[in-house]
Amino acid sequence: MVSTFLTPYPHTQPNDLASLHLRRDQSLPVILSTQVTSASDQGYAEGVVTNTRFGSFPHSTIIDRLWGSQIRASKVDTGSRGRPGRAKKRKADEALDESSQPSNVAGEAGVKQAEVAESGFIHVLPPTPENWTTSLPHRTQVVYTPDYSYILHRLRARPGSRLIEAGSGSGSFTHAAARAVFSGYPKVALDTADTNGKEGEADVEAPESVKRRTFQAGRDEETGNHGQVFTYEFHRERHEKVKDEMVQHGLDSVVHAMHRNVYNDGFLVYDSNSTTTPSDPKSSPRANAVFLDLPAPWEALPHLTREPALDGRPSVLDPDSTVHICTFSPCIEQAQKTVSALRRYDWIDIEMVEMQHKRVEVRRDYTGLQYDGMRGANAFAADVDEAVSRLRDVEKRLKDFHAGKPADDGSRAGKRRQNNQQQQQQDTASKLPFNEGTLVHRTEPELKTHTSYLVFAILPRAWTEADETAAQEKWSRNV
Ligand code: SAM
């Protein structure tokens, strides 16, 4: 299955997950449906309709549109259910009140919004980890976009990386990680004339539109790995939800979700229902990036080794590459304990970063001081009447000024004076930098993120005498 998260077709298609963008920081994930319900079933004649505060959007108007298109609200045809007029009106009024809560309706009491649609528009966007994070159903505290962008960058997550995540929680970080490590559809015969993709043992057929696009090399150049995310969660329901979401979003070929208490049972890849402990080296995730969003990351660290265990179990980390780790903790004591444990297990370059994101809004503020004569219009007014009359005067002069009219006091001299004054005002206004208002800024407090102490560290790749000899030989051959 091709994921709209990774390589969307150019057009929206039935059963796609789409993100309906309502306004900044507000989007609504919907599965586009061609389901048709008959009006006599109490459904909409148009089939499935998504109702929002900006109007009603039958999915038939969203499907087969270019991603990014603006979709106008439709007047929804409620068919011939023939409710009495007053009831219909009342329902429509109720729908107006409810409409701040978007809903998907097919076959429900269909008069909702019937007469209130056609008012606004939305944009239909392909799902991305960013818009999924702002709209996903929260089952836990989640990692937000500003944090995961930074974390994935510091983990050097890239196509081909093999990344361990614990716990999966609400799957917010999982989506971003899946996109970061995605290394092209494996096993697809790509047209080598315009791609760098590698041909493999195909069982996933990419659509034509995808085949035509230029691909990243199918594997990490350095390690030859296919990108994978291994995500672990000990809460059964959360684990099952994340697993289902990965299938629905077409990410299950990239993300391997496991039900596991990682403090006790570590990170090897095996069926969680099996009682046998794996010793097959293939069951190692061979990870080169690790993200721990757990209450006690230090309890998971003993399992993140490069050396095979004494009982024959393979190591969890890739023995042939440097491994980057990040732990996410809400309080400093947790970060301190993690740092101590990292030192004990030979991690180096340990660093703690406190994230404090702020969004700064910069805009021009109209101060009202722009034009001579307007300054403090009511500053010297003796009473309310005088203040109102001064304001009216200012308003009239402003209107005249914009209309290019000289103020009329009757005399020729007066007109000349007014002309000169007007010219002066225009000159001054065009020269003043605050003509469009003074530049001001303020921080927006509502940016979604939470206090986090991120601890980063590196486990350098093991380097033996044999590695050194091989490197020397390779070097002398190339010289
Ligand atoms: N990073 C996630 C996201 O972006 O949606 C949120 C993770 S949430 C804060 C922490 C999760 O770790 C919880 O769902 C919890 O059940 C899980 N967890 C806690 N201890 C665990 C353990 N020992 N093994 C596996 N999962 C664990």
Q: Write out pLDDT tens, residues 296-316.
A: 999 999 999 888 877 778 889
Confidence tier at 362 by pLDDT (50, 70, 90): confident
| Mean pLDDT, residues 96-105 taken together | 46
Calculate how far, in angstroms, residue 168's C-alpha sits from the geometric centre of ligand 1.
5
Q: Say yes or no: 117 and 45 in one domain.
A: yes
The answer to whether 297 touches 335, Cβ cutoff 8 Å, is no
Residue 4 domain flag: no
44 beta partners: none
The model's pLDDT over 231-289, given as tens digits with 9 standing for 90+, comes to 999 999 999 999 999 998 989 989 999 999 999 999 998 765 555 556 666 689 999 99
Total tally of structural domains belonging to the chain: 4
Ligand 1, residues 138, 140, 147, 304: which to mutate, most atoms within 8 A of Cβ?
140
- Alpha carbon distance 326, 154 (integer Å): 8
The binding-site residues of ligand 1, defined as CB within 6 angstroms of any ligand atom, are: 140-143, 166-167, 169-173, 232-235, 238, 260-263, 293-295
In whole numbers, what is the pLDDT of the chain averaged over residues?
A: 76
- Closest ligand 1 atom, residue 140 Cα: 8
pLDDT in the model for residue 369? 45
Q: Say yes or no: 78 and 27 in one domain.
A: yes
Calculate how far, in angstroms, residue 169's C-alpha sits from the geometric centre of ligand 1.
5
Q: Say yes or no: 136 and 243 in one domain.
A: yes
Q: Say yes or no: 168 and 315 in one domain.
A: yes
User: Does pLDDT of 216 surpass 70?
Assistant: no
User: Strand ranges (DSSP E) for 60-198?
Assistant: 70-72, 103-105, 121-125, 162-166
Whose C-alpha lies nearest to ligand 1, atom 9? 141
The answer to whether 288 touches 315, Cβ cutoff 8 Å, is no
Q: Say yes or no: 259 and 344 in one domain.
A: yes
- Alpha carbon distance 65, 71 (integer Å): 9
Q: Which residue has the higher pLDDT, 61 or 110?
A: 61
Whose C-alpha lies nearest to ligand 1, atom 20? 294
Q: Say yes or no: 427 and 457 in one domain.
A: no
Ligand 1, residues 293, 326, 449: which to mutate, most atoms within 8 A of Cβ?
293
pLDDT in the model for residue 279? 61
Calculate how far, in angstroms, residue 140's C-alpha sits from the geometric centre of ligand 1.
8
Residue 443 domain flag: no
The model's pLDDT over 389-409, given as tens digits with 9 standing for 90+, comes to 777 877 787 777 777 665 555
Residue 377 domain flag: yes
- Give the DSSP H or E segment for 174: helix 172-181
Q: To which residue do tokens 């089939």 refer?
A: 47
Closest Cα to residue 60, out of 50, 462, 69, 444? 50
Q: Say yes or no: 261 and 141 in one domain.
A: yes
Q: Say yes or no: 282 and 141 in one domain.
A: yes
- Residues 6 or more apart from 110 whose CB is under 8 A from it? 39, 42, 43, 44, 76, 78, 79, 81
- Alpha carbon distance 307, 431 (integer Å): 71
Q: Which domain holds residue 152?
A: 131-179+219-357+450-478
Calculate how far, in angstroms, residue 283's C-alpha sits from the geometric centre of ligand 1.
22
Q: Say yes or no: 456 and 320 in one domain.
A: yes
Q: How many CB atoms lie within 10 A of CB 162?
A: 25
Residue 68 domain flag: yes
Tokens representing residue 401 in the block? 């000024």
Whose C-alpha lies nearest to ligand 1, atom 13? 169
Q: To which residue do tokens 């909702």 refer?
A: 112
**Which region among 15-19, 20-24, 159-163, 212-216 has the lowest average model confidence (pLDDT)?**
212-216
Surface-to-core class of residue 36, CB atoms within 10 Å of its CB (0-12 exposed, 13-18 middle, 19+ buried): middle
Output b/e per residue, 285-301; b: 16+ Cβ within 10 A: bbbbbbbbbbeebbbbb
Closest Cα to residue 10, out of 62, 59, 67, 73? 67
Whose C-alpha lies nearest to ligand 1, atom 7? 169
The answer to whether 303 touches 310, Cβ cutoff 8 Å, is no
For residue 419, the one-letter residue type is N
User: Does pLDDT of 230 surpass 90?
Assistant: yes
Q: Say yes or no: 205 and 296 in one domain.
A: no
Ligand 1, residues 132, 134, 168: which to mutate, most atoms within 8 A of Cβ?
168
- Closest ligand 1 atom, residue 136 Cα: 5
Q: Say yes or no: 210 and 231 in one domain.
A: no
Q: How many CB atoms lie within 10 A of CB 237?
A: 9
Confidence tier at 467 by pLDDT (50, 70, 90): confident
Q: Say yes or no: 470 and 337 in one domain.
A: yes
Whose C-alpha lies nearest to ligand 1, atom 2? 169
